Amino acid sequence: MKTIIISAALRLFFPLFIFFSFYILIRGHNHPGGGFIGGLILVIPFIFHVLIHGADETHDKLFLKRVYSLRRNEQESDMNYYLRNIGYRLRGLVPWYSRPDADKVLVKQFVIEPLHIIPVGLSLSLLAGLIPLFSGEAFLTGLWAKAQLPLIGKVGTTLLFDIGVYLLVAAVVLKITLVMSKE
Amino acid sequence: MLYTILAGLILAFAAPLLYRLLGRFISVPMVVLPAVLFAYFCTFISPVVAGQLVMQEYSWIPSLGINLQFMLDGLGLFFALLITSFGVLVMAYAGAYLKGDSHLGRFYLYLTLFMTAMLGVVLSSNILCLLVFWELTSISSYLLISYKHKYEVSRASALQALLITNGGGLCLMAGLILLGIAGDSFSFIELLQQRPDLLNHSFYLPIVLLIMLGAFTKSAQFPFHVWLPNAMAAPTPVSAYLHSATMVKAGVYLLARFSPMLGGTEVWNYTIMAVGATTAVVGAFLALQQLDLKAILAYTTISALGSLVTLIGIGSTFALEAMLVFLLAHALYKGALFMIAGTVDHATGTRDTTKLHLLGKRMPLLSAAAVLSALSMAGMIPFFGFLGKELLYEGAFEAPRFAVPLTAAIVFSGIAFVAVAVRLGYGIFFRKSANEATHIAHKPETFLWLPPLLLGIAGLVFGILPNITVAPILSAAAGAVAGSEVHLHLALWHGFNPILMLTILTIILGIVFYAFTNIFTTWPVHLERLYKIGPGELYYTLKNSLSIGSKGFIESVQSGSLRYYVAVIIMTFIVLVVGAIWQEELYRVVTPDTFIAALSDIELNEYILILLMVPATIFVCLTNSRLIAITTMSLVGYAIALSYIFFGAPDLAATQFLVETLTAVLFVLVLHKLPPFVPLVKYKTNAFYLSLSVLFGATMAYVLVMVRQFPLDSELKAYFGATSWLEAKGRNIVNVILVDYRAFDTMGEITVLAIAVIGIFSLLKLYPEKGDQL
């Protein structure tokens, strides 16, 4: 189902979905939203990606992070080379900018496995439960920091708990989607 | 004390990482931890001996009465010192014993985890907290026994130990919960004060029997002793630490701990005495017949545990003192002998006593350790074992009832001990024989002979100077068990009394038994038919029949058809609801008028929902296309989400919308892989399921109409509304319930989600090729 319109639209909407899901997660304590809904929204662009490009390409493009450097020119000074590389990396952050492939070298390769995010989310939630134990409260008692963060507002262990739920739900749905759409 | 436990847990789980960083020097931090803990507990000696009770409490689940309560009294301190001091020696020994093993980090993880769990057991004063640590010792023991997991023997032995000790653990859990209900508290101190009430409570008998089962399985009492000899499949440091010095004594600890609360009755005393004495005799009898070094030690350990349990059963203050002295003596010499057996195995490659000859001259320091420990085990003057044995005999001899059979049982076990001690300390090291001296592949390094030698020397020093070394802490421990103040005075010489005669008799008979070793070791062949009906075979019969039985049960219940499962659930539901309505005569509330009233309440926008849902539902049943069925089902789902909005639940509606969409998308992803839809089910079956669905719908509608007749007032709703913003700092009550009020539920739910996805993953990924790895 590779259509150029959805594929182009997804490029634009991808960061939007991610920010929106995070917004839903943060506002959850006072308005409709929260970790569960936020997590579900977070996976929407990924699922679109799978639908458009197929699971293998999604895996290669979104979960396989390759770090490239430029090929070094002959007799190039260190400074110049580093500066060129920094510019090259920065350009990589712009979603619609495709970099020339000819003169780059693979430096490192990371794989993000959704199955591994599940325990991370679970441990964050568990951690939110364990923190109050140190101040003598019962397991999973909500504790709140005195200071407020800009944009996010009050920070407490319940937010940490919700972030755990958010990550776990997103990873669970993502993993199911990836497994099911593979041949 | 929470921090000692935490330090243990953290270091345990860091062990594999440390092994990667430090290589063979990993034993350094692992030895340092128990050493530091030992020093820490030493600082408590003087206050505890002075009679002080050190308590600490952290709330954990206060609403259920489960708190992390720690208590350090004489008994707890005695065990904590025993655990940590043995921890130091065993950790050092293990580093040398398993040198170069690629899984050493994992081994230290299990071993430290065990040490921590054991400390938790002896420090807990909340009985449920105790149970958690108790189970953790079983699990770490399982992991340690199956350490050489490539061998089937190791795996089978580990499973046997786990099944037996955890079976006992389940009984213990039931017993402790009953105890908590009977005493209306889970705190040990509070329960202790309610002793008179508990003794007359109707739950007393089940409580006592269940707790005893837990203790007997853990301490390998007859007929549950079978797991202990098999557990010798574990590496020797484990046998020395868990299966002789500490873990198997957890059962003894438990009985000692509860004896001031529940003890002193006939059931308690006679049951424990009978089981303990039987175990002492059976263990001694079986120990004489073994050829393998570790098997000999395992059976004598069983026998010693039997003697300890017997002394608890006798229950007099003197017997309890004797129990603690003998416990320490036994831990000292048995731990050392296990390590010596391991070193011999390490050096020569065999543990068969018929193949080991004249090792003494070539391993002088090891043989010195062996001689010291063996002399202590045989109960020779002036070793600590002598004191232990004297008190043991005296305790049994002065028992208020059944003194003669008890003394006979314990003396028999003592004779076997002497015979075994001569075999271990003299037979394999010095005895001149026609056979050639056993070849020693490589000489033991320092940490393979030093820990047992230290233990042997400790046995000698404690024996000569008991009153300035161990007597104060032993008195404090005995005081905690007896429930009164105890001043223990240990002396080597008591004059010519019957006990001394018994000791001399024991030694003479023991040497005679030693002379007939060759005859005893042929007995297993002759007694084969007896052992066929013994508890060992019984275990395998039970285990096999359990797996056959459960297989049959699953095959009859689990058909594998989703439709069938749903039908069973719905039918059960209908039967229960209709039964409840019938019994409570709730059908009186519902009249035709109430139906009409309910119908007239429906508003226009709700009619639209009905118009969406009902035709869609009917259409789903009739269509032959999967794609259409899925989209129509989504329609129903969206209509439900809409209804949530109408009734003012935006969170629920948003979740429902998202989940509905995701379900449809996931279905579409797998749709093209499914074979074309063919209606296979017969007309009659369909009719049955249709009528079942209609019946279910009708029941639900009836229940809803009925519920409307009762006023809906919920205290919780008001409570949540009142406190959500003020206490939980959130305006969205639904979310606050999820992450704060009911966070524990959410925790459970997300855990289930995680497990479900692992299940889905393994089903889809691993099914095609069997033996595929995750």
* CA distance linking residue B115 with residue B34, whole number of Å: 9
Q: Which residues pair with B244 in a beta bridge?
A: none
User: Does a structural domain hold residue A17?
Assistant: yes
If asked whether residues A122 and A47 sit together in one domain, one would say: yes
* CA distance linking residue B476 with residue B173, whole number of Å: 28
Structural domain ending residue among the three candidates B536, B558, B580: B558
Q: Would you call A148 helix, strand, or coil by DSSP? A: strand
pLDDT of residue A102: 62
CB-CB: which of B735, B758, B764 is closest to A29? B735
Amino acid at B473: I
If asked whether residues B598 and B671 sit together in one domain, one would say: yes
* CA distance linking residue B215 with residue B252, whole number of Å: 7
If asked whether residues A24 and A36 sit together in one domain, one would say: yes
User: Does a structural domain hold residue B83?
Assistant: no
Residue range of the domain that includes B633: 561-713
Closest-CA distance, B655 to chain A, in angstroms, reads: 6
pLDDT of residue A101: 61
Q: Do residues B233 and B148 make contact, with C-beta atoms less than 8 angstroms apart?
A: yes
Residues of A within 8 A of B733 (CB-CB) are none
Domain count, chain A: 2
pLDDT of residue B176: 93
If asked whether residues A126 and A169 sit together in one domain, one would say: yes
If asked whether residues B462 and B611 sit together in one domain, one would say: no
* CA distance linking residue B397 with residue B409, whole number of Å: 11
Read off the pLDDT band of A95 (50, 70, 90). low
Amino acid at B720: F
What are B266-314's pLDDT values in tens digits?
889 999 999 999 999 999 998 888 888 899 999 999 999 999 999 999 8
Residues of B within 8 A of A136 (CB-CB) are 58-59
Q: Do A32 and B650 touch (CB under 8 A)?
A: yes
If asked whether residues A74 and A44 sit together in one domain, one would say: no
User: Does a structural domain hold residue B270?
Assistant: yes
If asked whether residues A87 and A131 sit together in one domain, one would say: no
If asked whether residues B337 and B424 sit together in one domain, one would say: yes
Domain count, chain B: 4
- Answer yes or no: is pLDDT of A180 > 90: no
User: Does a structural domain hold residue B53?
Assistant: no
Q: Would you call A95 helix, strand, or coil by DSSP? A: coil
User: Does a structural domain hold residue A156?
Assistant: yes
Residue range of the domain that includes A29: 4-53+113-181
What are A21-79's pLDDT values in tens digits?
999 998 888 888 888 999 999 999 999 898 888 888 888 888 888 777 788 778 888 88
If asked whether residues B601 and B742 sit together in one domain, one would say: no
If asked whether residues B705 and B753 sit together in one domain, one would say: no
If asked whether residues B674 and B636 sit together in one domain, one would say: yes
**Residue keyed to tokens 């739950």:** B203
Structural domain ending residue among the three candidates A75, A91, A110: A110
**Residue keyed to tokens 């289930």:** B752
If asked whether residues B477 and B580 sit together in one domain, one would say: no
If asked whether residues A93 and A136 sit together in one domain, one would say: no
If asked whether residues B509 and B574 sit together in one domain, one would say: no
Residues of B with CB under 8 A from a CB of A: 58-63, 650-651, 654-655, 658-659, 662, 665-666, 669-670, 728-732, 734-736, 738-740, 743-744, 746-747, 750-751, 753-754, 756-758, 760-761, 764-765
Closest by CA to B248, choosing from B202, B303, B292, is B303
- Number of residues written out for chain A: 183
If asked whether residues A31 and A120 sit together in one domain, one would say: yes
Q: Which residues pair with B201 in a beta bridge?
A: none
* CA distance linking residue B364 with residue B451, whole number of Å: 15
Residues of B within 8 A of A172 (CB-CB) are 753-754, 756-757
Structural domain ending residue among the three candidates B521, B548, B582: B521
Q: Do A32 and B764 touch (CB under 8 A)?
A: no
Q: Would you call A102 helix, strand, or coil by DSSP? A: coil
User: Does a structural domain hold residue A58?
Assistant: no
Determine how many CB atoms are found less than 10 A away from the CB of residue B209: 16
Going by C-beta distance under 8 Å and a sequence separation of 6 or more, which residues neighbour residue B258?
B211
If asked whether residues A117 and A177 sit together in one domain, one would say: yes
Closest by CA to A44, choosing from A20, A26, A74, A64, is A20
Mean pLDDT of B661-667: 88
B-chain residue closest to A55, CA distance: B669
3-class secondary structure for B625-673? CHHHHHHHHHHHHHHHHHHHHHCCCHHHHHHHHHHHHHHHHHHHHHHCC
What are B413-466's pLDDT values in tens digits?
999 999 989 888 888 888 877 677 777 777 788 888 899 999 999 988 988 888
Q: Do A34 and B63 touch (CB under 8 A)?
A: no
B-chain residue closest to A34, CA distance: B735
User: Does a structural domain hold residue B180?
Assistant: no
Q: Do residues B186 and B180 make contact, with C-beta atoms less than 8 angstroms apart?
A: yes
If asked whether residues A98 and A156 sit together in one domain, one would say: no
Classify residue A143 by burial, with Cβ atoms within 10 Å: 0-12, 13-18, 19+: middle
If asked whether residues A177 and A121 sit together in one domain, one would say: yes
Structural domain ending residue among the three candidates B713, B739, B758: B713
Q: Do A172 and B736 touch (CB under 8 A)?
A: no
CB-CB: which of A133, A138, A172 is closest to B753? A172
Mean pLDDT of B147-160: 90
User: Does a structural domain hold residue A59?
Assistant: no
Mean pLDDT of B74-103: 90
Output the average pLDDT for chain B. 87
Mean pLDDT of B644-671: 88
Residues of A within 8 A of B62 (CB-CB) are 138
User: Does a structural domain hold residue A32?
Assistant: yes
If asked whether residues A120 and A177 sit together in one domain, one would say: yes
User: Does a structural domain hold residue B284?
Assistant: yes
Interface test with B, best of A24, A179, A182, A183 (most B CBs within 10 A): A179
* CA distance linking residue B487 with residue B484, whole number of Å: 10
If asked whether residues B603 and B614 sit together in one domain, one would say: yes
Read off the pLDDT band of B773 (50, 70, 90). very low
Of A95-104, A140-149, B351-360, which gets the smallest average pLDDT? A95-104
- Number of residues written out for chain B: 774
If asked whether residues A131 and A48 sit together in one domain, one would say: yes
Measure CA of the first residue to CA of the last residue in chain A; give whole Å. 16
Residues of A within 8 A of B63 (CB-CB) are 138
Residue B588 C-alpha from the chain's centroid: 53
Structure tokens at B587: 């059908």
What are B330-347's pLDDT values in tens digits?
999 999 999 999 998 888
Interface test with B, best of A122, A140, A177 (most B CBs within 10 A): A140
CB-CB: which of B658, B730, B747 is closest to A125? B747
What are B451-477's pLDDT values in tens digits?
999 999 998 898 888 888 888 888 888
Q: Would you call B102 helix, strand, or coil by DSSP? A: coil
Residues of A within 8 A of B760 (CB-CB) are 175-176, 179
